Amino acid sequence: MKKTSRRDFLKLAGATGAGLLACGAGNALANEGLQVNNEELGMLYDATKCVGCKACMSACKRVNHDYGSLSYEKAKFDEDGLWDAPSDLSGSTRTLIKLFKESEQRWSYVKYSCMHCQKPSCVSVCPVSAMTKEKVSGIVDYNKNTCIGCRYCQIACPYNIPKFQWEKAVPQIVKCDLCKSTNLREKGISACAEVCPAGAIKFGKRKDLLDEAHQRLKDAPDKYVQHVYGEHEGGGTNHLYLASMPFNKLGLPEIKPEAPAEFSEKIQHTIYKGFIAPVALYSTLCFIAVKNMKKHESHDDDHKKGDK
């Protein structure tokens, strides 16, 4: 049996590392080109129908108060705490209605909550899979028992949606989950859509919501900005918008059609999957060791020739 030299071992280790890197690259490519799933659940918010009653906010907090560990937020002027009056999304507020006003004649309400992206960045960056996307419903969900509190999801979200409960002893991330464990389970609809008295929030499958949105644009072209926000932004979202004012003036960011998650997944699947990074580092060290061995052996040969 042939004895394996140290040089042969190092060469084999380096080749193995290169092979694993190639496999990682293949996995990254396999995750590209994911198709939009229009069968997933979502919401269509029509800002032209919204009357600013905030019934959706009240219903959201009432239904998800216990499950989501939500608290009521009183306004500064409300010393008795009679009303829940959050000024922004927070560790206690999943859904928010705001008023944007340009003039007495030009103004609009807008609703903020999780966009339930087709390719969510929060899911992509979460190192422990506390953020997940359900394959059938498309709901982007959060598991407080898995979360380690790194808050990468907050940084990654292009819509600035996830919030952290800084004030709680046992904090968690707060975001809309379409009432998955509460109203959706019991009644088949999100609480906000169920209670909206003006029909500003429509709940259903993405394909039906898109059909409805485009029909409204066709029926009243002068009423709406001719665009369905969320149809293509960031790879597509399941929370869709119609409005009479430009969406950027309503606080909704201008985002390219490419999903930010594709970039982060490419990095993770290439470098981290199967401990590729440590293997790559070890392979590099092996290469340096082999190179140094050759240099040392060449030096020894020259020294022996000189002795002769």
Could you tell me if residue 137 is inside a domain?
yes
Could you tell me if residue 193 is inside a domain?
yes
What pLDDT, on the 0 to 100 scale, is given for residue 22?
46
Instruction: Return the bridge partners of 46, or none.
Output: 242
How do residues 170-192 score in pLDDT, each as one tens digit?
Answer: 999 999 999 999 999 999 999 99
Q: How far is CA 129 from CA 122, 125, 137, 161, 268, in A?
A: 10, 9, 18, 18, 13
What pLDDT, on the 0 to 100 scale, is given for residue 246?
96
pLDDT beyond 70 at 13: no
Same domain, 69 and 140: yes
Q: What is the DSSP string of the chain?
A: -PPPPHHHHHHHHHHHHHHHHHHHHHHHHHTSSPPP-TTSEEEEEETTT-----HHHHHHHHHHTTTTT------TT-TT--S---SS-BTTBS-EEEEEESSSSSEEEEEE----BSS-HHHHH-TT--EEE-TTT--EEE-TTT--S--HHHHH-TT---EE-TTSSS--EE---TTTTTHHHHHSS-HHHHH-TT--EEEEEHHHHHHHHHHHHHH-TTTS-S--BTSSGGG-BSEEEE-SS-GGGGT-----SS-HHHHHHHHIIIIIGGGHHHHHHHHHHHHHHHHHHHHHHHHHHHHHHHH-
- For residues 217 and 30, which has the higher predicted lDDT (pLDDT)? 217
Same domain, 290 and 214: no
Which tokens go with 228?
């369905």
23 is in an annotated binding site: no
Q: How far is CA 124 from CA 45, 88, 169, 223, 269, in A?
A: 26, 25, 27, 37, 10
Global pTM reads 0.76
Length of the chain: 308
Same domain, 45 and 137: yes
Q: How many domains does the chain have?
A: 2
CB atoms within 10 A of CB 140: 29
Same domain, 91 and 9: no
The answer to whether 116 and 138 are in contact (CB under 8 A) is yes
Could you tell me if residue 181 is inside a domain?
yes
Tell me the percentage of the chain whose pLDDT exceeds 90: 62
- For residues 284 and 131, which has the higher predicted lDDT (pLDDT)? 131
Same domain, 131 and 105: yes
Range of the domain at 19: 2-30+272-303
Same domain, 144 and 214: yes
Mean pLDDT along residues 26-51:
78
Same domain, 211 and 95: yes
Same domain, 79 and 185: yes
Could you tell me if residue 220 is inside a domain?
yes
150 is in an annotated binding site: yes
Could you tell me if residue 233 is inside a domain?
yes
286 is in an annotated binding site: no
Q: Please tell me which of 13-17, 147-151, 279-283, 295-299 the model is most confident about, judged by mean pLDDT.
A: 147-151
Same domain, 105 and 152: yes
Instruction: Return the bridge partners of 93, or none.
Output: 90
Mean pLDDT along residues 143-155:
95
The answer to whether 182 and 64 are in contact (CB under 8 A) is yes
What pLDDT, on the 0 to 100 scale, is given for residue 284?
75
pLDDT beyond 50 at 103: yes
pLDDT beyond 50 at 31: no
Could you tell me if residue 122 is inside a domain?
yes
How do residues 51-88 score in pLDDT, each as one tens digit?
Answer: 999 999 999 999 999 887 888 887 777 777 777 889 99
Q: Which residue has the tokens 């002893």?
A: 169
At 265, the pLDDT band (50, 70, 90 cuts) reads low
Same domain, 119 and 258: yes
Could you tell me if residue 113 is inside a domain?
yes
Among 49-58, 154-163, 279-288, name the one with the lowest average pLDDT.
279-288
Same domain, 164 and 212: yes
Same domain, 220 and 295: no
CATH number, position 102? 3.30.70.20
pLDDT beyond 60 at 50: yes
Could you tell me if residue 36 is inside a domain?
no
